[in-house]
């Protein structure tokens, strides 16, 4: 497991790539293989699982909604059904965490909920893989086209920054705040582990 960032740790601690230790042992016994080298290849897997357990425990300490928000952003292996559930919870959480939603007119509030879904999609793309990916829908015309194609929502292009640009920026800030909250316990474990690694 690489100790690069809390985002990377969330992804890696949930990733169980390759075969498990038990599958390895079964394969060895079926083929009658004996390992004669002094280095056991399964030690890397054991170290990964032990370290993963610390990060998984940190994730489990979060409220369920924040866990879903984090899983929506960083989970490596997900089913469509599970992904949709996480997205719905993350979307509801982002929407409910935005205090200015009640200031909007009814029609604009309905459209802004879909804008929140789009912002969450964009934010996820930008932070996946550690972070630093470019925003795929940064240009307003691309974002409007995506909303229309994906959700059937048509936003007026006139006065974009006055009508919708500020809402998009506010919702990005909400996603960032929730992301920081979700990553905080992992960052603490990461700091501890880095301290142990440098001390050793």
Does 158 fall in a domain?
yes
* pLDDT cut 90: percent of the chain above it: 32
User: What's the domain count of the chain?
Assistant: 1
pLDDT in tens, 92-127: 888 888 888 888 899 999 999 999 999 999 998 888
Does 1 fall in a domain?
no
Does 74 fall in a domain?
yes
Q: What is the pTM of this model?
A: 0.79
The boundaries of the domain holding residue 111 are 6-199
Does 194 fall in a domain?
yes
Does 85 fall in a domain?
yes
Does 84 fall in a domain?
yes
Calculate the CA 185 to chain-centre distance.
15
C-alpha count within 13 angstroms, C-beta hemisphere, residue 121 = 15
Does 118 fall in a domain?
yes
CA distances from 18 to 21, 33, 35, 150 (A): 10, 19, 19, 35
Query: For residue 159, what is the DSSP state?
Result: T
Mean pLDDT of 164-186: 93
Distance CA 18, CA 7 (A): 21
């Amino acid at each position: 497991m690489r100790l690069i960032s809390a985002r990377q740790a969330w992804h890696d601690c949930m990733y169980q790539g390759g075969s498990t230790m038990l599958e390895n042992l079964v394969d060895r016994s079926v083929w009658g293989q004996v390992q004669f080298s002094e280095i056991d290849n399964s030690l890397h897997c054991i170290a990964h699982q032990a370290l993963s357990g610390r990060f998984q425990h940190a994730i489990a300490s979060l409220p369920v909604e924040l866990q879903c928000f984090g899983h929506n952003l960083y989970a490596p292996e997900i089913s469509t059904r599970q992904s949709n559930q996480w997205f719905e919870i993350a979307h509801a959480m982002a929407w409910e965490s935005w205090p200015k939603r009640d200031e909007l007119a009814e029609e604009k509030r309905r459209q802004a909920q879909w804008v929140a879904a789009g912002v969450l999609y964009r934010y996820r793309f930008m932070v996946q893989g550690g972070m630093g990916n470019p925003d795929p829908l940064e240009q307003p015309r691309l974002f409007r086209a995506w909303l229309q194609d994906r959700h059937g929502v048509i936003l007026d292009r006139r006065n974009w920054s006055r009508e919708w640009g500020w809402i998009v920026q506010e919702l990005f800030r909400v996603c960032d705040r929730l992301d920081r909250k979700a990553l905080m316990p992992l960052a603490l474990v990461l700091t501890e582990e880095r301290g142990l690694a440098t001390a050793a």
